[in-house]
Amino acid sequence: MMRIVLLPGAGGAAAYWDKVVPLLEAEGHEAVAVELPADDETSGLPEYVEVAHAACAGADELLVVAQSMGGFTAVMLTDRLVREGRTVLGLVLLNAMVPAPGETPGAWWEAVGSEAARLEAAEAGGYATEFDLDTYFLHDLDEETTALLMQGGKDEVDAAFATPCAVEEWPDVPTRVVVGADDRFFPLALQQRVARERIGVEPTVVPGGHLAALSYPAEVARALLLV
């Protein structure tokens, strides 16, 4: 049985994957959503990897999936698993930061031109250029999902943003990038460009914004299983 290890983005909330987990399990897979210690000042990417690695214990086959900032943890985790001789069937990045070896999450934004891309997309799309949660994260979520999300949220502390993606090269596993067509935080054109330039991957496009696993869980679940 394949174990799908699901890593959240900034804030570290495993609940982000709540709607996707049962859909993956219905297809006969084991799905484990990982809660990362994002509000712990003493925890950076290495500590995130330790927590995620523990979720891989005992699995014969693994699929590593990450949302947003979780892309950094996912690449480091996959690199470690491969070096340990574990069977990793794939790495899937959903609306995720695609890191370069040695890059920190804090440096990623400027390196890929994220802010300029966000502003350009906002002007073209006719929505506010000033960042706020409703416009950029919650715009395609229903009220019930939004309420649950806000109840379980926590702030990402600075530690992880300053720690590098400690790999020498991209892990040698099949990699896919899945992009929400209406992601306003990491716009489609930005994600397509970064995936092509950094890892030579053409993204799969699904409906939804930055939190697509909550707004379009069925479409996201299907995309994750295309590896």
Per residue in 80-104, pLDDT (tens digit) is: 999 999 999 999 999 999 999 999 9
Question: Which pLDDT score is estimated for 226?
Answer: 86
Range of the domain at 81: 2-224
Query: Considering only CA atoms, which of 204, 219, 214 is closest in space to residue 92?
Result: 204
Mean per-residue pLDDT over the chain, rounded? 96
Q: What confidence tier does 159 reach under pLDDT thresholds 50, 70, 90?
A: confident
What is the per-residue DSSP string for 44-56?
A: -HHHHHHHHHHTT
Average pLDDT of the residues in 140-157: 81
> Which CATH number goes with the domain that contains 93?
3.40.50.1820
Question: Which pLDDT score is estimated for 190?
Answer: 99
Percent of the chain with pLDDT over 70: 98
Strand 30-33 and strand 87-94: the pairing is unpaired
- Structure tokens of 208? 């939804």
Residue 72: DSSP 8-state: H
Q: Tokens 């395609």 sit at which residue?
A: 140
- Structure tokens of 160? 């992880």
The number of domains in the chain is 1
The residue type found at 71 is G
Q: What is the pTM assigned to this prediction?
A: 0.96
Burial letters 56-89, b for 16+ CB under 10 A, else e: beebeebbbbbbbbbbbbbbbbbbbbbeeeeebe
